[in-house]
Chains A and B, each alone.
Chain A
Amino acid sequence: MRKQNTRGKLDKAIKCLMAIIVSEVFIFFAALLVMLIQRSQLILSRYTVWELLFSSEWDPDKGLYGFLPAVTGTFFVTVLSLLIAIPISILSAVYISEYMPSAVKSYFQAFIDVLAGIPSVVFGLCALLVLMPFTRDVIGPLFGVKTTGMCVFTAALVLAAMVFPVIISITVESLGILPVGLKEQFLSLGATKWQLIEMVLFRAAGPGIISGIILGFGRAFGETMAVVMVIGNKNILIPSLFSPGQTLPGIIVGSFNEMMSVPEHQSALIFISLVLFIIVLFFNILANIIKNRLKSRWRYE
């Protein structure tokens, strides 16, 4: 009887500990948000959000904080990299899950897993060594522009490579869990494999693919180091894709040293973090809603 009591007590104690730790995480989450809002008050009391986000002058020495160059830089880099990555990674994911023999498939998936774990600085280093000369000597002349290689286009190429493993692994996974019957029934009607993929599999695996794309977007959007290493870090409105630019996380890393000294500058950088935070929050919640909606509409079980 006594033993029973200690067991019960231990169980309750551990439950309390768990609840404490979980609430600690929430405190961290709330503290993060509160801190970001509170520390960006200073800059927001002098300029409106509109002025900050849509003016193009960035000169902290003169007290000018316009994020438009970085906002457009981030936008172009992210969109361009997704435009490169989405078709390629979805097509190759379909190939991996539908055409590849299963012996090769498991090796290939292991390969993709390793790539998903490769740190972003390594991607950046590689971009510096290979993609930058490639853009300068091959892509630039191809389009008839002179470029140093330190440009938005190179950054998008690296980001595309970093997004591949995310989208591929989630797409392969969501194609893999579809019931075999679904495929067999459609093929037995005389459809070709591509018709099957186009008409059935993309719909059935749709929620998975879309959440993969949103996760890939998140990775591309928040990526700091690899982009900073190749984008050139010039805070100007980009005239073309082959000129140096700047991204929002890039500003924070770039102004790291000055950050301590001027409170206003510091507050401006924290305002950028707040913007990043809110965008990530928005897209995550959106992804969740989409996933749940689509799950209830496209159910194949």
Chain B
Amino acid sequence: MNKYVKESIFKVLMVISVFIVIAYLVMIVGINVVKGGIVLIKNPAVVVTAPGPKYLLGGEGGILHAILGSILMVVPSTCISCAASYLIALFLQVDYIKNKLSNKLRVVFDVLWGIPSIIYGIFILNILIITNRRGSLGAGIITLALLQMPVIVRYMDEALNSVPNGIRESAYSLGATRLETAIAATKYALPGIIAGVLMGMGRAMGDAASVIFTSGAGNSMPKGLSKSAASLPVLIFQQANSFYPSVREHAYAASFVLIFIVIILNTVSRLCSKHFQKFTLGSGK
């Protein structure tokens, strides 16, 4: 076979596969936006009404409990895990421990990242069983914090690693302590750090498998840390196969809201990194 013929064959194959990927993914976003959009346009109040007494049997109500539950679980868990991850990521830098050791620690975080989220759920569930408690908002927060920690740590670590050595060296040469140097390096790594936090948040936002065991997943409004709470992904999972069309439609609406939140998070992360890049580009070179 002529090399030019081969070239054109593979080019066609590549175009086809790009096309498949685009079609596939446009379809996935499109179908959710269309289906959920129709429900939301017909009845926009779904998003702000609490579920009624016979909600799962096709009764009155909306998905406010899941939206609130998701926000109440994701925001505190992101804050907790953000603070912890920042300290861990700094610790993994050469300033504190040797490179060999930190490479080994990184493997642990990679493994934690790769563990299916359902195992986190089982772990917390077992602790709940041992301590004789039931699934609650607080347990959900802890699960999600653990779940997103490895993601945030690895992103922050990558971002801090890409800081030019000159910044650290000049900070040390001025007599700064390790902490002060780390803060200077953080400013440079900020775009990557924010991207990591939002990635973790996205993971926590969309994960159903871990929360379904631990947060109780009832259909009542979240009332307190020790009470059960619903969340959007769990709601979609439970209602997508329901017999009642109205219940099913609420799952579509919920998935619309979820996709909307994910896209917003992504856009914010992009805008933030652009904004902060203005201050950092070239300052280390």
* Total of A-B residue pairs, C-beta within 8 Å: 223
Within 8 A of A (CB), among B19-53: 20-21, 24-25, 27-29, 31-32, 35
- Could you list 14 examples of A-B contacts with CB < 8 Å? A7-B177, A7-B180, A25-B108, A88-B21, A117-B202, A119-B207, A122-B28, A164-B25, A194-B6, A215-B114, A224-B118, A277-B119, A285-B111, A288-B110
- Chain A interface residues toward B at CB < 8 A: 7-8, 10-11, 14-15, 17-19, 21-22, 25-26, 28-29, 31-32, 35-36, 39, 87-89, 91-92, 94-96, 99, 110-111, 113-115, 117-126, 128-130, 161, 164-165, 168, 191-195, 197, 215, 218, 221-225, 228-229, 249, 252-253, 256, 260, 269-270, 273, 276-277, 280-281, 283-285, 288
Residues of A with C-beta under 8 A to B87: 14, 17-18, 21
CB pair B88 A121 closer than 8 Å: no
Residues of A with C-beta under 8 A to B285: none
Contact of A95 among B15, B208, B263 (CB under 8 A): B15
Known: A29-B111, A191-B3, A222-B117; 18 extra A-B contacts, CB below 8 A, are A11-B179, A11-B180, A15-B96, A22-B91, A36-B119, A36-B122, A88-B20, A91-B17, A92-B18, A95-B15, A99-B14, A121-B258, A164-B25, A195-B7, A222-B114, A225-B209, A225-B237, A284-B107
Contact of A229 among B7, B27, B122, B237 (CB under 8 A): B237
Query: A8-B177, A21-B87, A284-B107 are contacts. A222–B115 as well, Cβ < 8 Å?
Result: yes
Residues of B with C-beta under 8 A to A229: 237, 240-241
Scoring B20, B105, B212 by chain A CB atoms within 10 A of each residue's CB, the highest score goes to B20
Contact of B209 among A29, A118, A197, A249 (CB under 8 A): A249
CB pair B28 A161 closer than 8 Å: yes
Residues of B with C-beta under 8 A to A252: 118, 122
Scoring A10, A32, A224 by chain B CB atoms within 10 A of each residue's CB, the highest score goes to A224
CB pair B108 A91 closer than 8 Å: no
Measured CB to CB, the closest approach of chain A to B249, in angstroms, equals: 12
